[in-house]
Amino acid sequence: MSTTEARGQHAPTDVAAVAETIMQRLELAWNRADGAAFGEPFSADADFVAIRGDLHTGREAIAAGHQQIFDTIYAGSTVSYEVLQARELDEQVIVAHIRGTMDAPGGPLAGQHACTITLVLLRHDAKYEITAFHNTLVTG
């Protein structure tokens, strides 16, 4: 997991560190095929747009949906995430763009694929949670 330059701007260290910490949690959960752990960083009412464009709302639905794919079409897959950029919109909100790479041994996305994620983090008390996650497959 690393922060890279995007469009000539480097994400501020503290803001990028927040995004990196959350993405490290997601990466670890995915690579352990642990849907409950994958859902933990999301807010209770979070929105998740999957790589095929379907919308999932709520931490529990996000966790259950991921456990289902970990057990079926993405069984044995691994991901890595890299924060491309992150910035504060205000003291409560961070928007970040992430590059994801998935290696899947089988299923509809067998092989290695990249995605770009738009991540919106909202501060709840002293911690940030994911309130919106939009995943787009990089083609070509």
DSSP calls for 8-63: TBPPPHHHHHHHHHHHHHHHHHHHTT-HHHHHTTEEEEEEEE-TTS-EEESHHHHH
pLDDT of residue 108: 87
pLDDT of residue 5: 39
pLDDT of residue 13: 61
pLDDT of residue 140: 74
Mean pLDDT by 10 residues, the chain (140 residues): 40 82 98 98 98 95 97 97 96 97 93 97 94 94
Rounded to the nearest angstrom, the gap between the alpha carbon of residue 21 and the centroid of all alpha carbons in its chain is 11
CA dist 29 and 35 (Å) reads: 7
pLDDT of residue 10: 42
CA dist 46 and 58 (Å) reads: 5
pLDDT of residue 126: 86
pLDDT of residue 125: 87
**Paired sense of beta strands 42-49 and 55-57, if any:** antiparallel
The answer to whether 98 and 85 are in contact (CB under 8 A) is no
CA dist 2 and 6 (Å) reads: 12
